[in-house]
Amino acid sequence: MMKLKLILPVLLFANQLYAQDSLTIRKIYDEALVNGKCYENLRYLCKEIGPRLSGSDNAGKSVIWSKKLMESYGFDKVYLQEVMVPHWVRGAKETAFIIDGKNRISVPIAALGMSVATPKEGLTANIIEVHSIKEVEELGEKVIKGKIVFFNRPFDERMVNTGEAYGASGDQRFMGPSIAAKYGAVGVIVRSLTGNLDDYPHTGATLFDKDGKNIPAAAISTKGADKLSAMLKMRKLPLVKFYFKQACQMLPDVVSYNVIGELTGIEHPDKFITVGGHLDSWDLAEGAHDDGTGVLQSAEVLRIFKAMSYRPKNSVRAVFFMNEENGNRGGKKYAELAAQNKEEHIAAIETDAGGFTPRGFSFEDVSNDLMKKLSARWKPLLEPYEIDRLIAGHSGTDIGPLKDKRPGVVLIGFRPDSQRYFDVHHSSNDVFENVNKRELELGAAGMATLVYLIDQHGL
């Protein structure tokens, strides 16, 4: 370990308490930036383990490795929380063609998670382009029946935060297939949820009612979507048809685990601050930004505290949730057990928006008064580290179930810069090489800072 000297920015506050906080935060950053371990840990998770879809062998390996990692750091408690998870598998690589008379034009697709296979020989049908679920409902069974529905509403590039663009386009992938199925569609193709024009399909879960019909559904690359749309405009139906083949299937649920590390509070061991991300990932790449960065930043928060001999007043947990991507079973289990054990949860912070430069935090369903109070108290401390954007907003999927199960908990989302996230999200580009070491470490330091402030001063 390098010997650390304190450097600027250390704020000199008249108030003694602020001065102490300011010094401690500087120590947190020094530890993260000089002795940081999350980048090398992320390399291991991405390169030595790789994709970790729930139920896969790799997901199992990642659980064992994560537990060992946290044990090696000497946290006070390290344990697994058993949870049954869905086991969806992609099967053989998908193929798809636009059929234009006698021409077959290949386009890149990837089955949506939880979708079903096409017939073995593939599926060919007329294809109709729509831009919203409402449009499907308006067209109705008369038009939709027997066709492949092609959802092609692009990201709204005018939105400054790309997460909002994802939210605004996402219903096509989440709900589009199940609703098209109700009107008799035989398959669904969805424009990939990215603002980029490229050749990579971006997968992700689609939702089917238990009682509803499940039809084959796949994401198409944005360039493929533009090509298909252009051909549909040029030629009249039924000259243009679409063919695709996918072999995905749903296997029986399997046992998996949340992985939890804890520093036990010295004043209130029975009160908890949770910081976490999800250990599972999609199968197309290494789940680097989604969400390898998140789990390893979470463990890093506790490692930083140990390294600087900070003993929290309250118990601080790093939770590596399992199955965020296609079921959120880990998140539900964690909340359920928290309720069962009557744990008092002060706050939960989720990092699942990529390992980019941190900019601040979003607070879910908190009062304006609390936002004002936190801003007045903490912004001066956060500003030197450029993480002072404290806003109202969504927190995270994994910690969401705590809201009902542990009322009173404050749910917080870590907010890194959003511009590059959907370049890689759920696609084959989500690899270690696209993570920047400093951006990752600054995120870990930012989260440790927030946890420290909550631990010291409450909310």
Give the interface with its own copies as residue ranges (CB under 8 A): 4, 7, 9, 29-30, 33-34, 156-162, 195, 357, 359, 384-386, 389, 417, 419-420, 423, 436, 438-439, 442
Q: Which is nearer to its own copies, 253 or 388 (CB)?
A: 388
323, amino acid identity: N
CB of 103 to its own copies, least distance (A): 30
Nearest to 242 by CA among 132, 152, 136, 138: 152
Q: Which is nearer to its own copies, 50 or 384 (CB)?
A: 384
Distance CA 448, CA 436 (A): 19
Which uninterrupted H or E stretch holds 401? none
Q: Are 242 and 94 in contact (CB under 8 A)?
A: no
Q: Which is nearer to its own copies, 155 or 334 (CB)?
A: 155
Q: Which is nearer to its own copies, 7 or 12 (CB)?
A: 7
Distance CA 287, CA 45 (A): 9
Backbone phi, psi, residue 164, to 5°: -70, -35
Question: Which residue's structure tokens are 């969401």?
Answer: 400
Nearest to 181 by CA among 152, 153, 217: 217
Distance CA 146, CA 164 (A): 33
CB of 164 to its own copies, least distance (A): 8
CB of 39 to its own copies, least distance (A): 11
Q: Which is nearer to its own copies, 278 or 420 (CB)?
A: 420
Residues with Cβ < 8 Å from 403, sequence gap 6 or more?
364, 365, 409, 411
Backbone phi, psi, residue 36, to 5°: -55, 140
Q: Which is nearer to its own copies, 194 or 323 (CB)?
A: 194
Q: Which is nearer to its own copies, 313 or 379 (CB)?
A: 379
CB of 16 to its own copies, least distance (A): 24
Structure token digits, residue 434: 């696209």
Nearest to 444 by CA among 269, 277, 264, 273: 277
Question: Which residue's structure tokens are 């947190």?
Answer: 28
Q: Are 275 and 349 in contact (CB under 8 A)?
A: yes
CB of 267 to its own copies, least distance (A): 30
Q: Which is nearer to its own copies, 159 or 459 (CB)?
A: 159
Distance CA 92, CA 273 (A): 42
Backbone phi, psi, residue 117, to 5°: -75, 160
Q: Which is nearer to its own copies, 264 or 436 (CB)?
A: 436
3-state secondary structure of 159: coil
CB of 446 to its own copies, least distance (A): 10
CB of 116 to its own copies, least distance (A): 35
CB of 178 to its own copies, least distance (A): 28
Distance CA 313, CA 342 (A): 19
CB of 50 to its own copies, least distance (A): 24
Question: Which residue's structure tokens are 């749910």?
Answer: 411
